[in-house]
Amino acid sequence: MAKVGIIICARYQSCGGGKCFRSAREHTGGFAIYPEDEKIEVVGFSYCGGCPGGNIEYVPEEMIKNGAEAIHLATGFVVGYPPCPYIRQFKEFIETHYKVPCVIGTHPIPQKYMDVHEITSFWEKENMMEIAEHLINEDRKIKEDYD
C-alpha cells in the first residue's frame, strides 16, 4: 500500500478534496506513478498556509509520522492563476529536508483549465511543462472527465 500526504494551495483551502481522492482511487494524474494494483491511502491532507507557504515547513513531518512515504503537491498549485511561484522550492525543500519524494500533482488537469492555459502566456513563461508534463500530457478524455 502506498501511503501519501496531499498539500493543497491556500487559494483552495476550503476544497473538499474530491478530485484528489478520486484520482488516488483511479490511479490518474499524479497518482498514475503507483502500480494499478497498489492501494493508495491518503494519510494527511492540508494546505500550504498561504504565500510563501509557511505550512510547508512542518505539515510534511506530521504526514510522515502518519506513515506518508510521499508528499503530493496538489494540481491546484499548477493550474491556479497564476501557477504557484514557489512550487519548485516546495518540492526541493520537502525532498531535501524530509527525504521523501515530492510529487507535483494529484488529479489530472481538467480540460477546461487546459483550454485556458494553452492560450495564455504565463504557463510557458513559468515552464510548467518541466514539472507538470505528466499532468499536461494526460489523455484528453481523462481531463474532460475531471471538468
Structural domains present in the chain: 2-145 (3.40.50)
| pTM of the predicted model as reported, rounded to 2 decimal places | 0.93
pLDDT at 121: 84
| pLDDT tens profile 7-54 | 999 998 888 889 999 999 999 999 999 999 999 999 999 999 999 999
Question: What is d(CA 37, CA 27) in angstroms, rounded to the nearest whole number?
Answer: 9
Cβ contact 91:59 at 8 Å: no
For residue 71, the model assigns a pLDDT of 98
Give Dmax over CA atoms of the chain in angstroms. Answer: 42
pLDDT averaged over every residue in the chain? 92
**By the 8 A CB rule, do 53 and 91 touch?**
no
Q: CA 49, 76, 63: angle at the middle one, nearest 5?
A: 50
- Cα-Cα-Cα-Cα torsion 48, 49, 55, 56, nearest 10 degrees, comes to 30
